[in-house]
């Protein structure tokens, strides 16, 4: 199936607009279907011919094609495709499926662990996005995991310590770091810890060192935008 150089990814509350090779739509996928590719995102001119106005959200490149992420200025399009049903249908073009995959938030849970002196625990990372830099304990949440559980698990895995979160509400931040347009959402909690440093056991091949830093020192050494935003609240 030939694919236009640029297409519009219109999404409204979980619904997306698919068209056939001639620009006719909406088309509906069938989950777990195999076969030839028949559906794709529409072009701007095809959307204009449908009388749909839209608001630009983002632009990204997939396999040499421009994908324009936008919100259609219409009522909820009940008869459009559910985005979750597009992933497993071979009839949906890979560019559309990849775009939908990238639109799913990656969820991260982190924690600011404070000692009696008000210093915050940070680790020096050996793998992932911030190799060689200092970050707060934390990481990707498991699929069935609450963020308040995830950061406690990560602290135990990375630092070898058991923590109890305090009653402070988490600091929630969202950013797109990569050129692929992938969005990350971070939940950063707080906890107090009164143990001995001898209890800290760093996860091999992931954390090379740890340090207790004042909030200002942590901000000067930190690199993650999520960490910096959370540390400012201290």
Q: Is the pLDDT of residue 1 over 80?
A: no
Domain ranges within the chain, ordered by starting residue:
6-102, 106-231
Average pLDDT for the chain: 94
pLDDT digits (tens, 9 = 90+) for 159-179: 999 999 999 999 999 988 766
pLDDT digits (tens, 9 = 90+) for 49-102: 999 999 999 898 998 999 999 999 999 999 999 999 999 999 999 999 999 998
Burial class of residue 21 (count of CB atoms within 10 Å of its CB; 0-12, 13-18, 19+)? middle
What average pLDDT does the segment 150-157 reach?
97
* DSSP annotation string for 28-42: ---TT--S---BBPP
Choose which CATH entry (3.30.1340.10, 3.30.70.20, 3.90.79.10, 3.40.50.2300) describes domain 106-231. Answer: 3.90.79.10
| φ/ψ (deg, to 5) at 229 | -65, -40
Please tell me whether residue 77 adopts helix, strand or coil conformation. Answer: coil
Question: Given this model, what pLDDT does residue 177 score?
Answer: 72
What average pLDDT does the segment 202-214 reach?
95
pLDDT band for position 38 (cuts 50, 70, 90): very high
Alpha carbons 6 and 147: distance in angstroms, whole number:
37
């Amino acid at each position: 199936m030939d694919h236009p150089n640029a297409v519009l990814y219109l999404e409204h509350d979980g619904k997306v607009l698919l068209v056939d090779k001639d620009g006719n739509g909406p088309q509906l996928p069938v989950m777990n279907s195999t076969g030839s590719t028949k559906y794709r995102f529409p072009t701007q001119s095809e959307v204009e011919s449908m009388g749909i106005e839209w608001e630009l959200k983002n632009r990204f490149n997939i396999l040499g094609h421009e994908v324009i992420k936008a919100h259609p200025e219409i009522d909820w399009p009940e008869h459009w495709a559910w985005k979750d049903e597009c992933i497993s249908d071979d009839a949906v073009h890979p560019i559309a499926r990849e775009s939908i995959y990238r639109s799913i938030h990656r969820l991260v849970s982190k924690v600011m662990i404070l000692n009696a002196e008000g210093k915050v625990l940070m680790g020096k990372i050996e793998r992932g996005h911030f190799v060689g830099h200092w970050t707060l304990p934390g990481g990707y949440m498991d699929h069935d995991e609450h963020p308040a559980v995830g950061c406690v698990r990560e602290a135990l895995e990375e630092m070898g310590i058991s923590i109890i979160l305090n009653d402070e509400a988490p600091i929630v931040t969202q950013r797109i770091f990569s050129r692929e347009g992938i969005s990350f959402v971070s939940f950063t909690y707080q906890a107090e810890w009164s143990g001995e440093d001898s209890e800290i056991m760093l996860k091999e091949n992931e954390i090379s060192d740890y340090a207790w830093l004042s909030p200002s020192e942590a901000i000067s050494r930190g690199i993650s935008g999520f960490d910096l935003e959370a540390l400012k609240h201290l």
